[in-house]
Amino acid sequence: MSKPQFREIDSSVGKTAKFLKRSSFALLLTLAAIVIIAAALIVLLTSCATGPTVQIIDAETAMQIIEDEPNAVILDVRTVQEYNEGHIPEAVLMHYGASEAIVLDTLPNKDVPILIYCRSGRRSAEAAQRLLDLGYQRVYDFGGIIDWPYQIVVPE
C-alpha cells in the first residue's frame, strides 16, 4: 500500500507545480498589462500638457522684449482709475475680466508677444492664463507696476 501513497503525493505535487506555473504566468501577464496601461497614461497626460504656458518674467526681461519686439503688446489689466494714476508707455488698458469678444477685438493677433501687468501680479496672472486658454501663443506676465523701475506715464 505504500506505493499508492507515493503516487498520490507525486500526483499532488505535480498538480500543485502546474497550478503555480499557471498562476505565476497569469500574474506576470497582469503585471505586464498594468505597466503598459500606466505607460500609456503617462504618455497621454504629458502630451496634453505640451501647449504654450504663461512665461513669468521680471521687469528687465519685459523691457528687453519691448525693445526687441516692435509688435509686442503691453497689456494693463487694472481698472481705468488705476490706469489714469500712471501706466507704462503705450500700454493698452483692458479689464482682466473682459469678455472674450472684447479680448479678441482688442488683441486680434494671437501670435505677437503680449506682456501683461496689473498693480501687484494677481490679476495679471489670471488674465495671462485666460489669454492662453483663448489660444494666444506668446503670453508673458511681469507682475505688477509696483515693481516697474522704468518710465511711467501719468495723464494730465
**What is the 3 state secondary structure string of 61-89?**
HHHHHHHHCCCCEEEECCCHHHHHHCECC
Condensed to tens digits (0 to 9), the pLDDT of residues 94-121 reads 998 899 999 999 999 999 999 999 999 9
Per-residue pLDDT reduced to its tens digit, 11-36 = 555 665 565 567 777 777 777 778 78
Span 37-94, pLDDT tens digits: 866 666 666 555 567 899 999 999 999 999 999 999 999 999 999 999 999 999 999 9
Q: What's the whole-model pTM score?
A: 0.68
Give the end-to-end CA distance of the chain in Å, rounded to a whole number: 117
Q: What is the pLDDT of residue 10?
A: 57
* The pLDDT value given to residue 31: 75
Q: What secondary structure letter does DSSP report for 52?
A: -
Question: How far apart (Å, rounded) are the C-alpha atoms in residues 118 and 116?
Answer: 7
CATH class of the domain whose range is 55-147:
alpha beta
Q: Which of 54, 91, 116, 118 is catalytic?
A: 118
**pLDDT over 70 at 156, yes or no:** yes
- Cα(149)–Cα(143) distance, rounded to whole angstroms? 12
More confident residue, 58 or 155: 58
CA dihedral 101, 103, 106, 108 (to 10 degrees): -90
- What is the C-alpha separation between 52 and 50, in angstroms, rounded? 7
Query: Is there a contact between 54 and 129 (Cβ–Cβ < 8 Å)?
Result: yes
118 catalytic? Reply is yes
The residue type at 110:
K
